[in-house]
Amino acid sequence: MQADNVDLLGLWVTDPEDRTAVSEYGRVSMDFRPDGQLIYTIFEQGKRQVMLLVYQINGDILITDQPSSPREERTRFEIRGDTLTLFYADHQSTYRRRLEKV
């Protein structure tokens, strides 16, 4: 299923049932904004680490970059209902849409 920017907008959090994603990335949120900003937050030990990224979509590819340390990343993705799946070379991770802020 191909998604567009509107499908991706909003807040997504690590799916707690995705043991691989939780193990690999921990508890994270991704807040996709309409202006192309992506706020990526890692929650660990009572702290928040925030990374300010920019993103764009090319078909089913999510392209992200961190302006403070430029390096473009390309990741295939899929949205089915309230589930976002990111596909990497050797694994995938799933996230659930959240309506309220974390």
pTM for the model = 0.87
Structural domains of the chain sorted by starting position, each given as residue range(s) with its CATH number in brackets: 5-98 (2.40.128.490)
Q: Are 57 and 76 in contact (CB under 8 A)?
A: no
At 94 the three-state DSSP class reads strand
The CA distance from 25 to 37, in Å, is 20
Q: Are 35 and 53 in contact (CB under 8 A)?
A: no
pLDDT tens for the chain, residues 1 to 102: 345 567 899 999 999 999 988 888 889 999 999 999 999 999 988 899 999 999 999 999 999 999 888 999 999 999 999 999 999 888 899 999 997 665
Nearest 10 degrees: CA dihedral of 90, 30, 20, 46? 140
